[in-house]
Amino acid sequence: MAVSTGSLSVRQFFSRNGALARAHPNYEYRSGQLEMAQAVEAALKEKRHLIVEAGTGTGKTLAYLVPALLSGKRVVISTGTKNLQEQLFFKDIPFLEQFFPDGIRACYMKGRNNYLCRQKLYDAEREPVLTGLEEVADYQIIRTWEATTESGDRSSIAGLPEGSTAWAKMDARRERCTGQKCRQFDRCFLTLMHQRAQESDLIVVNHALFFADLAVKDGDFSGIIPDYSAVIFDEAHEIEEAASHHFGLTVSSHQVEELRTDILALARRKEFKTGELERILDALLDHADRFFQLFGDVEGRSGFNEHRTFLERQDEKYLQFINALELLSTQLQLIKGAPDELVPLHRRARDIEEALRFWVEGGDRSFVYWVERRGRGCFLQATPIDVSPVLRQKLFDEIPAVVLTSATLAVEGKFDYARRRFGLEHPRELIVPSHFDYPKQSLLYVPQHLPDVRSPAFPAAAAHEIGKILEHSRGRAFVLFTSYQQMRQVYDRVSGQLDYPTLLQGAAPSRALLDQFRSTPHCVLFATSSFWQGVDVQGDQLSCVIIDKLPFAVPSDPVVDARVRAIQEDGGNPFYEFQVPEAAIALKQGFGRLIRGKTDRGVLVLLDNRITKQRYGQVFFDSLPDYGFTMNIEDVERFFDAT
């Protein structure tokens, strides 16, 4: 049923007898959905910023999509994940098309590595790019698909393995792109994506692409997202992390190795390889290896603030590395008749040199500098300690209307924490309660007899308690941990004693584990951070969520440590101003996995009884929905017996 929108307002759209109700007899009017939609409508019309916490079941997706479509402006929708991005574009927007007879001009945009580079694909037919039978087989899949695809989006290829190395050699990432000099520029999937965006009123992106684009616009390059009048962030609690990543920088041993490999491969294909070039590349790799070895080989992350001492002691190896990069750049410029493909390789060499100087010399005190070892790789990272000034300057001061929404933005019913972290001044604010009846649908259980979570006795006691709870719930549970080590420890104790099937994060890709959980009766999934948010399992297949500890950020993490010290130096209390609010939002996310529909019922378990014994525990209770509450496992048993 097509409904003429004309001068339709969101009130007419969402009201009890409005367009949605007329088109769908089973439509359920939700006052909170209408209230949010009207707030978004006003923010877009009046060019104001808005922050909205919309509880699960509110229908927030339509509450921001409809006013965006009715606004007459070009609006960017930014989501936390590519999965949510695809749901918006392939499910929610097509659903709304029935109400817009003139059609909806919308597109979605992803990062460059999600798209095929046609020129690289064609080059692979003539040049020795592929290695091994698997890459040859994957190439045939990609080649067949390329002839029919309109988007060039890797997610639309059937049968291509998730970790295909052939795809990595043929995607359209910037560091290998020749831009307008490419023979396939007019047919390039990125060019086509940009053209579709220029013609669209609604552009759906993810946070990673949005902030990568915002950071590039801050530099020497124009962004890929065309100009827009408003942006709406869904899952807005994630934007600080995304902005921190993209306004920071990384220098890694892998970057140097990949640069050397790519230059040699191009030199062989285009026949400009010389002994001198090879010697320069070998020397670069040697000096890079010597430099990165200075940071040890211990796995994990560690802070770095000894820039002056480091330069005094290791300036010879540092300068040898810098000089090798400079020599390579000079050599690349001297190549006669250099192919266009050499331009981005030269740019990469200069980018590595520039980032290396920034990191080693450490002159900008607004950044925290840290080192991460992952396997054979060494990563030197610089992250803004506080991204709020950048967000204020580049986002909120530049874009007329910014809407931030999530089910988890408020702490103790207020937005003080989010406003402070985002640099958002004087926004309009709205909290829309969930549509669910939490006191009847859910029970929060906090056992009092367990030892303190910091005690060596906690893992064994927690494992025993988890076993008892899972017997009452008959499986059907997520058991979520704040650390991988704790997850393994408890899994090893519990899994062999259960009569129910168990899954362990890491045993298969996350999506495969989730599909297996949904299709396996009475299943129990043991997992960590990647299952704390963005996972939706409706019905009684998921009837229990168990969390081991209050999800405080690891205090020794260099970024967390730097942010704590910055608040202290400013005269604040980092525990109550940063660590507790951050953990409260994370706990809301974890518990949010359980009740996803009006008929869902289940038990939420927090094994960390500090929430009932420490003064700060009240902050968590005041931030969570109004669950039923108990400290007795007998109430848990009765709850499940009534299911």
Asked if the model's pLDDT at residue 1 lies above 60, the reply is no
pLDDT above 80 for 508: no
Sheet containing 401-406: which strands, arranged edge to edge? Answer: 106-108, 202-206, 75-79, 230-234, 401-406, 50-54, 428-432
The residue among 543, 544, 505, 510 whose CA lies nearest residue 525 is 505
Residue 462 has pLDDT above 90, yes or no: yes
pLDDT value of position 218: 57
Task: State the average pLDDT over residues 597-616.
Answer: 94
Answer yes or no: is pLDDT of 328 > 90.
Answer: yes
Q: What is the pLDDT of residue 269?
A: 80
Reported as type and span, the H/E element at residue 561 is helix 558-569
Give 11's contacts (C-beta < 8 A, 6+ positions apart): 18, 34, 38
pLDDT beyond 60 at 192: yes
Residue 595 has pLDDT above 90, yes or no: no
Mean predicted confidence (pLDDT) in 127-153? 88
**Cα–chain center distance at 269:** 37
pLDDT band of residue 470 (cuts 50, 70, 90) is: very high
- Which stretches of 148-277 are assigned E, i.e. beta strand? 202-206, 230-234, 249-252
Contact 93, 104 (CB under 8 A): yes
The mean per-residue pLDDT over the stretch 410-428 comes to 96
**pLDDT confidence of residue 23:** 81
Higher pLDDT, 120 or 430: 430
pLDDT band at 2 (very low <50, low <70, confident <90, very high): very low
346 pLDDT higher than 90: yes
What sign does the dihedral 113-287-308-554 (CA atoms) show? positive
75-79 vs 202-206, strand pairing mode? parallel
**Residue holding tokens 């603030």?**
305
- State mean pLDDT over 511-515: 84
DSSP symbol at 452: P
Q: Comparing 17-26, 62-71, 321-330, 360-369, which segment has the lowest mean pLDDT?
A: 17-26
Question: Torsions phi, psi of 77, nearest 5?
Answer: -105, 120
- Which range is least confidently modeled, 13-17, 90-94, 155-159, 344-348? 155-159
pTM (whole model) above 0.85? yes
Confidence band, pLDDT 50/70/90 cuts, at residue 3: very low
Domains in the chain: ranges and CATH: 1-105+200-247+387-435 (3.40.50.300), 111-184 (no CATH), 249-384 (1.10.275), 438-641 (3.40.50.300)
User: Is residue 508 within 8 Å of 163, Cβ to Cβ?
Assistant: no
Residue 222's pLDDT band, with cuts at 50, 70 and 90, is low
Q: What is the mean pLDDT of residues 591-602?
A: 88
Amino acid 587: pLDDT: 94
Higher pLDDT, 2 or 184: 184
> What percent of the chain clears pLDDT 90, i.e. is strictly above it?
68
The pLDDT value recorded for residue 185 is 87
- Cα–Cα distance for residue pair 105/203, rounded to 1 Å: 9
DSSP code at position 606: E
The amino acid that residue 379 corresponds to is F
- Coil, helix or strand for 411? strand
The whole-chain average pLDDT of the chain stands at: 91
- Predicted confidence (pLDDT) at residue 214 exceeds the cutoff of 50: yes
Q: What is the structure's pLDDT at 156?
A: 86
The model's pLDDT over 532-572, given as tens digits with 9 standing for 90+, comes to 777 778 888 999 999 999 999 999 999 999 999 999 999 99
Q: Which token pair is 522?
A: 């009475």
Give the separation between CA 174 and CA 266, rounded to whole angstroms: 16
Residue carrying the six token digits 């052939």: 166
What pLDDT, in 10s, does the model give residues 442-460? 999 999 999 999 999 999 9
The predicted pLDDT at position 551 comes to 94
d(CA 437, CA 416): 27
